[in-house]
Amino acid sequence: MSHFQISFMEKSDIQESARVLSVAMLNNPIHIAVFQGKGEAERIEIEKTFSHLLTELTEIVFLVKEKQNIIGVMRMKSCEGNKAIETIEDPKDENDIDWRTSVWHTEWASHEPLGQHWQLGPIGVLPSHQGLGIGSMFMKRFCKEVDVCKATAYLETDLDKNVRFYEKFGFKVDSESEIFDVKCTYMLRAPSA
């Protein structure tokens, strides 16, 4: 595994990073529920979402490359707590992706802690490279950065296996909710001593 190294994302890496995240997270239950499928059309929509996020709300983004190819992406963002939560109106069409995305983002935002904290996400590794320790490399780097700041860390996940993974790095379940019949878990990690 020593041939994998973490580096910062450059502007020229944004599109490939968005593609990697879309492939890595295509089978996540919340994405299947919001985008209503897990085919190529849905992957493209997810890629557009991540492209917008990485372009407009960059903060700090780390990459892992194999040779010149991006195989993993992790974003961390300094936050000051949740802002006013928008009210979601009843949809004209419950299949409208914009409405479904708004419901999802609003629910996740409502669980964000008050006060300064670091938020983890998105984080994803290509399926072909999962299980090689890349996610653990990312998490060790994230925890190191957050510990220097002596700050609380926060994340959202929709996979039980991810809850167990994040617990290895000191995260604890804070709350849970359901969005479109998908269980979402909100986790906090206390500042280091």
Q: What is the pLDDT of residues 170-183, one digit of tens each?
A: 999 999 999 999 99
Mean pLDDT within 55-84? 90
Mean pLDDT of 9-32: 98
Q: So what's the pLDDT on residue 93? A: 82
Kindly state the average pLDDT of the residues 68-83: 90
pLDDT at 86 over 90: no
Of the candidate ranges 77-86, 101-110, 140-149, the one whose mean pLDDT is the lowest: 77-86
Candidate CATH numbers 3.40.190.150, 3.50.30.20, 3.90.420.10, 3.40.630.30; the one for domain 5-189: 3.40.630.30
Q: Select the more confidently predicted residue: 105 or 58.
A: 105
**Is the preceding omega at residue 127 within 30 degrees of 0, hence cis?**
no
Predicted TM-score (pTM) of this structure:
0.93
Provide the pairing of β-strand 117-125 with 152-157. Answer: parallel
For residue 155, what are the contacts with CB-CB under 8 A and spacing of at least 6?
119, 120, 121, 166, 171, 186, 187
CA 167 to CA 182: how far, in whole Å? 20
Give the mean pLDDT of the chain.
93
For residue 1, what pLDDT is reported? Answer: 46
- Whether pLDDT at 58 is above 90: no
Tens of pLDDT, residue by residue over 145-161, are 999 999 999 999 999 99
Coil vs helix vs strand at 48: helix
H-helix or E-strand spanning residue 75? strand 69-79
Contact call for residues 115 and 152 (beta carbons, < 8 A): yes
Residue 185 is predicted with a pLDDT of 99
Residue 83, pLDDT > 70, answer no
40-49, pLDDT tens digit by residue? 999 999 999 9
For residue 81, what pLDDT band results from cuts at 50, 70 and 90? Answer: confident
- The mean per-residue pLDDT over the stretch 2-8 comes to 87
Q: What are phi and psi of 114, to 5 degrees?
A: -75, 155
Residue 107 predicted with pLDDT over 50: yes
pLDDT grade, residue 54 (50/70/90)? very high
Give the C-alpha separation, 40 to 79, whole Å.
33
Cβ-contact 21, 50 below 8 angstroms? yes
